[in-house]
Amino acid sequence: MTDTKLVDLLTLEKIEQGLFRGQSWDLGFRALFGGQVLGQALAAAQLTLPEGRLAHSFHSYFLLPGDANHPVLFDVENVRDGRSFSTRRIKAIQHGKNIFYMTASFQQPEEGLEHQFAQMPDVPPPESIEPDIKFYDDCLHDMSQRMRETIGYHKPIDMRTVQAIDPYKPQIQAPNRYIWMKAQEVLHGNVDLNQTMLAYASDYHFLATSLQPHGISVRNKNLRMATIDHAMWFHHPFNFDDWLLYCAQSPFSGGARGLVRGQFFDRQGRLVASTMQEGLMRQIGEKP
């Protein structure tokens, strides 16, 4: 899987006006990776825009688990094209059912008042941290052929977690997580592609931050986790083929749900994107 390229996954086939098809990767989860649908839905909307308009936000709901063994259809509705903003509603379809909805807003770049009161945490640089994937590469000889295949699909994003968490030995920790991330591919300053790749990556290890105060591993067989909704805001253009720090925090969990919020900083400390997500965190035996 060394030739696996995320740009290929995010390059969609046009079927007809406003209708696109994306291929799927099996990352070894119980269902289709949510980040794939986020990135592909955003990519589908980008293909319908007036020239020069860039995403500044999207809001999405996951309705049904996706099937990682089948492609996904994306139906894009042109809600509005104004003088400065465009709005698109994107529906993801598998097996004749709607599995996901996104509403995305795009803007013609313009100057405006600026401030930033978000501060980048003081963490070790990515060069001093081992890649997360090394934990699994070291165990490849004990894995089945299918698991080796799925590991390959995780490699297009280089992720390096500050104070990495052992999934086999969970401990009670504060609900904070810091992850250096960057794409392995050269993106040549393509703003649209940078945004779709970051949307894809933003779902990695995000909801799992809500488990940390409870000392429960994502591998716990009595746990059911699924994303309910995911929102993202893009503040500045960025280069995802350079390192970004993903700072995730969970301020609340309850009612079999966890809430997480995230911030992406570039190496200069500039806040380039923000995220929010709520997801199901149900232990078997709880009432539905």
The tokens of 132 are what?
């997360």
Spatial separation of the C-alpha atoms in residues 158 and 213, rounded to whole Å = 26
Pairing of strands 19-22, 97-107: unpaired
Catalytic residue among 161, 195, 196, 277: 277
Residue 237: CB atoms within 10 A of its CB come to 12
Spatial separation of the C-alpha atoms in residues 64 and 260, rounded to whole Å = 20
Catalytic residue among 36, 196, 227, 275: 227
Catalytic residue among 203, 212, 263, 266: 203
At what angle are helices 34-46 and 191-201 packed, to 10 degrees?
160
Could you tell me if residue 285 is left (phi over 0), alpha (psi between -120 and 50 degrees) or otherwise beta?
A: left
Short-list 159, 199, 196, CA closest to 179: 159
Task: Answer yes or no: 227 catalytic.
Answer: yes
Q: Which residues are catalytic?
A: 203, 227, 277
